[in-house]
Amino acid sequence: MRLLPREEEFFDLFVEVANRNVEAARYLRELFDAAPELRNPHVEAIKRLEHEADQVTHEVVNRLDRTFITPLDREDIHQLASDLDDVMDAIDGTARRAQIFRLGVAPAGVKQLTQVVERMTKVLAEGVGRLKQGDDVMRFCVEA
């Protein structure tokens, strides 16, 4: 029994954001697979996910301020939260630009890149999901 328990919910919050990143990457792939006139629902879905991910990221920062003993170094928790947020922001920014600039049919290379982004977010989510147990995380870092 610990005198001061460690806050373990950070891991669950990281997983929430990472899973939203996976979903947003899927919408991004679908956005560029869709005809230009059918892209708005994908952009809106990504905006919603970005807003939700921001709320979870703010919760991480708030918990960090309130938690005495953290499961990881404070700077590492903040950096991971920030990096996961950056992934979502990049996906959201790409989707919004596609909408703002009314991009036409996506070239094959763009479609391939969105598939890579989707695969990378899945690997990242798997790695983040294993942080709590601490098992085999490096394999996912190398794979991503």
Return the structure tokens found at 7: 């806050």
3-state DSSP call for residue 25? helix
Pairwise CA distance, residues 125 & 129, whole Å: 6
**Is residue 136's pLDDT more than 90?**
no
CATH T-level fold of 9-143: Methane Monooxygenase Hydroxylase; Chain G, domain 1 (1.20.58)
* pLDDT confidence of residue 6: 58
* pLDDT confidence of residue 141: 66
User: Model's pTM, two decimal places?
Assistant: 0.91
The pLDDT tens digits of the residues spanning 7-44 come to 679 999 999 999 999 999 999 999 999 999 999 999 99
The pLDDT tens digits of the residues spanning 108-117 come to 999 999 999 9
- Res. 49 pLDDT band, cuts 50 70 90: very high
